[in-house]
Amino acid sequence: MRQRLPVETYTKGVLAGDRATLSRAITVMESSLPDDRALAGQILQNILPHTGKSIRIGITGVPGVGKSTFIESFGVYLTSLGKRVAVLAVDPSSKQSGGSILGDKTRMEKLARDPNAYIRPSPTNLSLGGVARHTREAILLCEAAGYDMILVETVGVGQSETLVKGMTDFFLLLMLAGAGDELQGIKKGIMEMVDAVAVNKADSGNELAVAKAVSEYRQALHLFPEPPSKVPIQVVACSALEGIGMKAIWKLISDYYAQTSEHGFLQQNRQFQRVDWLREQIRQLLEDRFYENEWVKKHIAAMDEAVRSGEKVPGEAAADLINAFLLNSAKS
């Protein structure tokens, strides 16, 4: 393991915008080692007063929609406006090996070379929500490092992917034209959470299909209730490959940010998100302590076998394990 730096060194490096120190600080956040968890808490406490000034954008979409291409195109557009852009790109972890591809820097070569951009690929570590377990901490570190725009790329669309909504200000859903009846394959819950839909791949020769899809999405969204932000959900066409529509999407986001800041929804939403983060941290800490418990380590394999053989139902086995964990924790 690479040697850790003093907490003051991480703090000063991050606040100075040093990319190498920022990366090392995020690595500390992602570590499950007890010493690193304590260090991570100290770093976060130090940089917290310097956070909260960015626009946090969640980007999701169906597989093959071109999320990485879109993020590169949009990121390059934003840096051309003088914005500093951080991309937190989440790679799916393998259930078998726990490994992940972590290939976003190779998929976003132009943006990766941009001095005003920072790309950090992170594994999900099998966490739900399509985002890495410590994405929230990474967002705060990037804000403290002076990045104006934080783009969070999720693994894909699904019921569990909506966790990204709980850590961003603006949620963008990328869609394709001609992928079947336009709203049939999309979970209603996702559509109720998005702030805008961008139909990608409006490339040369595909404009009519995309225009038709945009029209159908706009009609369908009239059937949805008014969003909590009170800002109507917008639908636009874009071509990440050709850089078309980036200006329109940025205008949507900047107008949304201005409106929600003015009437207080942005601040209120971030307060709710912090409470959600607290609840999630409680769940994660309890789960970590459960699996770290010596009694659980000794007996969980036998309980697995009891469930596998049908001797016990999962609910009964879970209750037995948790009750024994609580009893042994109280004794120790």
pTM over cut 0.85:
yes
pLDDT, residue 108, reads 85
Tokens 């949620």: give the residue.
171
Q: Which of 137, 173, 128, 123 is nearest to 48 (CA)?
A: 137
pLDDT, residue 225, reads 87
DSSP per-residue string spanning 226-247: PPTT-SPPEEEE-BTTTTBTHH
Tokens 């999962």: give the residue.
314
pLDDT, residue 183, reads 52
Q: Which CATH number fits domain 1-50: 1.10.10.10, 1.20.5.170, 3.40.50.2000, 2.60.40.10?
A: 1.20.5.170
pLDDT, residue 82, reads 97
Question: Superfamily assignment of 52-261 in CATH?
Answer: P-loop containing nucleotide triphosphate hydrolases (3.40.50.300)
Residues of the chain with CATH 3.40.50.300: 52-261
pLDDT tens digits for 21-57? 999 999 999 888 889 999 999 999 999 999 999 999 9
Residues of the chain with CATH 1.20.5.170: 1-50
pLDDT, residue 160, reads 45
Contact 250, 77 (CB under 8 A): yes
Contact 182, 213 (CB under 8 A): yes
Residues of the chain with CATH 1.10.287.130: 275-331
Contact 328, 293 (CB under 8 A): yes
For 67, other C-beta atoms within 10 Å of its C-beta total: 25
pLDDT, residue 30, reads 87
Task: Catalogue the E-assigned strands of 114-232.
Answer: 117-123, 149-153, 170-176, 196-200
Task: Catalogue the E-assigned strands of the chain.
Answer: 55-61, 85-91, 117-123, 149-153, 170-176, 196-200, 234-237
pLDDT, residue 106, reads 57
CA–CA dist 124, 90 (Å, integer): 6
Task: Catalogue the E-assigned strands of 106-178.
Answer: 117-123, 149-153, 170-176
Q: Which residues contact 85 (CB under 8 A, 6 or more apart)?
A: 75, 78, 79, 111, 114, 116, 117, 118, 147, 148, 149, 151
pLDDT, residue 159, reads 46
- What dotted CATH number matches 275-331? 1.10.287.130
Chain Cα centroid distance, residue 251: 22
pLDDT, residue 176, reads 87
Q: Which residue stretches of the chain have pLDDT < 50?
A: 93-104, 125-131, 159-160, 180-182, 184-185
CA–CA dist 34, 56 (Å, integer): 29
